[in-house]
Structure 1
Amino acid sequence: MAINFIKNGCSAQHPCATLLEDIAILVRRIPQVNWNHILREANSVADILVKKGQNLPHGLHVFYASSPDTTHTLSLDAFGSLKLKGCN
């Protein structure tokens, strides 16, 4: 749904209209953009970082070392191991 909104836009009254306009402005600055849906399970490190970011103050945060959970997830990714949601 998000990719469809970005590609096709939405009405000016939609709650996401200003966000989509900001995305459109940024995209016009980049010569080529490809939009692809990546399952959360296939992008586990990004998912972990997003969750961590929700507990941080607004602004840029630089991590000089990975936390144990991201290190473990990166290792699984390097081995091509996919952990499906709800599976241990």
Structure 2
Amino acid sequence: MIGIGALVIAPVTADALDETPARRGAWLELNCRDPAALKTAVLKAGLAQIHYSATTSFYFAAPGGQVFGVARADRPEFASWLTRP
């Protein structure tokens, strides 16, 4: 966990990876108050859903290929930090 209000910056350059190798990079998990609403907004925006058979989490690719997952409190590995005040 980076922390509340944290910011991750990834500069984009002319020699950046295209979408295929970018999907092999780090996948980031997003913590939000309403995972279902975030999923709906992502799909409505037309972003690609990524299916990963090892988990039931919802993953999507941002433009450029970076993959994000939506953390849910029902996944034991996230329960401790999703329930923090």
| TM-score, normalized by the shorter chain, greater than 0.5 | no
Mark the structure with the bigger radius of gyration.
Answer: 1
The TM-score with structure 1 as length reference comes to 0.22
The TM-score with structure 2 as length reference comes to 0.23
Higher strand share goes to which structure?
Answer: 2
> Higher relative contact order by CA 8 Å / sep ≥ 6: 1 or 2?
2
Higher helix share goes to which structure?
Answer: 1
